[in-house]
Homo-oligomer: A and B are copies of this chain.
């Protein structure tokens, strides 16, 4: 479906639609795995329009990574919040949500880590670092509420489990990865409080 014909009611809508469609394609093919020309035909938009909205391919990539990071973190936070007040339930809910993600046929690992692995550009690496920051914040919060002796350290260990589970799921098969990681996380949580 073409993004728009002629003038669109709202240019911002066009930008959002491009971002949405480009995210899917770039995640599937890799940032350097598809050229701007083919990308444009795939998402049904002209190069001129894309470049007016994002200036540069890098600009598009950055906008997409920012949006994606935002969404993923909020999604996990929501899953935790929906699990009730018990920090253990919240932690379990995070890994259950991750397992859901791993089971998605289009799952190809963490988009931010994939991007940082290929683009050594500073802004991309900064977005990835910020992404891990927000993960860490979420997990440290759970550790604190669970009364961990050292919530900072436990949070970081849980972050490693989250990222490790994602890596293993992406490159070694995702079946049961979330469950195994959840079990390990709860063990660490028990031992640390």
- Tell me, yes or no, whether A59 is within 8 Å of chain B by CB: no
Q: How large is the interface on A (under 10, 10 to 19, 20 to 34, 35 or more residues)?
A: 35 or more
Decide: B29 and A120 in contact? CB cutoff 8 A. yes
A30 at the interface (CB under 8 A from B): yes
How many Å from the CB of A187 to the closest CB on chain B?
Answer: 5
A132 contacts B by Cβ under 8 Å: yes
Which chain B residues lie closer than 8 Å to A177 at the CB level?
156, 160
The answer to whether the Cβ of A123 comes within 8 Å of any Cβ in the partner chain is: no
Interface residues in A139-169 (C-beta closer than 8 Å to B): 153, 156-157, 159-165, 167-168
B-chain residues with CB within 8 Å of residue A31 when the two chains form the complex:
118
Give every chain B residue within 8 A of A157 (Cβ-Cβ).
161, 180-181, 183-184
Q: Are A113 and B184 touching (Cβ within 8 A)?
A: no
Contact B191 A30 (CB under 8 A): no
Contact B167–A167 (Cβ < 8 Å): yes
A40 to chain B, nearest CB (A): 20
Q: Which residues of B contact A180 (CB under 8 A)?
A: 153, 156-157, 160
Q: How far is the CA of A163 from the CA of B183 in the complex (A)?
A: 17
* Docked-complex contact A171 and B29, CB < 8 angstroms: no
